[in-house]
Amino acid sequence: MTRTDLSGSDYDAAISELESLSNDLATKADSEAEGYTAPESTTFAEVISVSPDGYPSMSTIHAWKVDGDTITVVMTDGRTISNLINVGDRGTILIHGSSYYVLHVETSDVKTLEYSDDAHNNGEFNVDYSGADRQAPEYTVTFKINELESTQVYMFD
């Protein structure tokens, strides 16, 4: 089965579903605050980028949130996100909902949290931050969704 470009009411329905599947962008401190409730969704996303050497790179992430025509991700420094941290960089994000959604995205905003022991100990990094042992920065990247496709078959799950 081929991919279908989504537009109009199909696009709106897909965005609504993706918003409901969005996962947690909470910091460690947020997650420990009284009254915090983790989202029910545990849906992962696959972020795909292309390195300057031409090789594709892919990372599985839990920290993502769709809001209308944008998607924000939180990722620890690594090959995949390093290809997407400049405004205008382009990549693809795959998310499995009622269909497999293929989001073609363009970087519109980047916030970098450099590693420090104070920031780490104060819970400023994402709840599932994994870069403390290598003192890696964390990036919160907002992308504009340029195109949204769906398909019923993909090799990821």
Where residue 154 falls among pLDDT bands split at 50, 70, 90? low
| Mean pLDDT, rounded, for 142-148 | 98
DSSP category for residue 49: E
Percent of the chain with pLDDT over 90: 87
pLDDT tens, 7-23? Answer: 999 999 999 999 999 88
Of 53, 72, 64, whose CA–CA distance to 111 is shortest?
72
Q: What's the confidence (pLDDT) of residue 157?
A: 47
Residue where the block lists tokens 């409730």: 37
Check: CB of residue 67 under 8 Å from CB of residue 19.
Answer: yes
Q: What's the confidence (pLDDT) of residue 3?
A: 86
| Mean pLDDT, rounded, for 100-107 | 97
pLDDT tens, 31-88? Answer: 999 999 988 888 999 999 999 999 999 999 999 999 999 999 999 999 999 999 999 9
Amino acid identity for residue 87 in this structure? V
| Mean pLDDT, rounded, for 127-132 | 92
Check: CB of residue 143 under 8 Å from CB of residue 108.
Answer: yes
Mean pLDDT of the chain: 93
CA distance 147 to 115: 34
- Helix or strand or coil: residue 110? strand
Residue 1 reports pLDDT greater than 80: no
Where residue 153 falls among pLDDT bands split at 50, 70, 90? confident
